[in-house]
Structure 1
């Protein structure tokens, strides 16, 4: 029998290949998933690295997208609601070149809970910025490679 993290990884793999092929191409993997946070790893491989040998800008954006979006999708699924999810804006600060597997962490689970509650209560689209950090623990320990702020936009649909 599969545990909840394995089921979530199967769903992410299916979603990546079936709905958003660029996500599938990067092969993200959920490392941890709790009510408050998610950690996603994108491996540094020939398809995700740039000419400098570091994770490509597009793959970094996909990692941030998956970390923020998967947490919201998982929470909506737990409440039994179907949501329309999109990102309306993004700011990023790239601090160092990530030259190994990159771990994206989003700890905004409580904020997403509030967004879902408000979207359910009002029926309106709710926009809020979520924060994601990217690290390469195998090379740089706990040093942050990049900071992302993505404006998450959710609406409950019938």
Structure 2
């Protein structure tokens, strides 16, 4: 493996559609750090089709939201929710071809907000889709909504980075 690539551990047994290991119809994404980016490589099959031979736009937006979220998890080690996301579909996202999804932090915390950007590229490194998102950092008051087990598991995961 490339020395600049570092595998990122993830939680097991959770049902998240994008990264959860317990979701039988989910994407079960795995992530790695490469420089200032968190990345995931995947190939989408027919279950994720919109127009024939093209990924559904909702799946594409899910991939971008998730990789930017993992950039937040890895680089910031905080609890947050997606506040807004803007997506620019530049080219169709093909099925049955290797894709790389990348996310990185754009700005640090300001008024409990943080910004990130994401990309989806094909195997030739052609940019297919770009996104920017704003994430709202959960306050102590809102953190009670996160189950205690998940908080413990996430805090243990943060220590591994």
Q: How far apart are residue 22 of structure 1 and its match?
A: 5.0
Of 101, 105, 130 in structure 2, the residue corresponding to residue 104 of structure 1 is 101
Question: TM-score, length-normalised on structure 1?
Answer: 0.68
CA RMSD for the aligned pairs? Answer: 2.7
2:115 equivalent to 1:136: no
Matched residues, number:
130
Residue 95 of structure 1, aligned match among 79, 90, 99:
90
- Per-residue deviation at 1:75? 3.1
Aligned position for 1:59: 59
Deviation at 1:23, TM superposition (A): 4.4
* TM-score under structure 2 length normalisation: 0.67
1:83-106: CA deviations, max 9, x gaps? Answer: 331111111110111112321112
Distance 1:35 1:106 in 2: 11
Partner of 1:75: 75
1:20 to 16, 19, 30: 16
Q: Is the 8 A contact 1:26 1:43 kept in 2?
A: no
1:150 is matched with which residue?
133
| Structure 2 segments unaligned to the other structure (5+ residues) | 1-5, 21-25, 144-161
Runs of 4+ in structure 1 off by over 6 angstroms are: none
* Aligned-residue offset at 1:147: 0.7
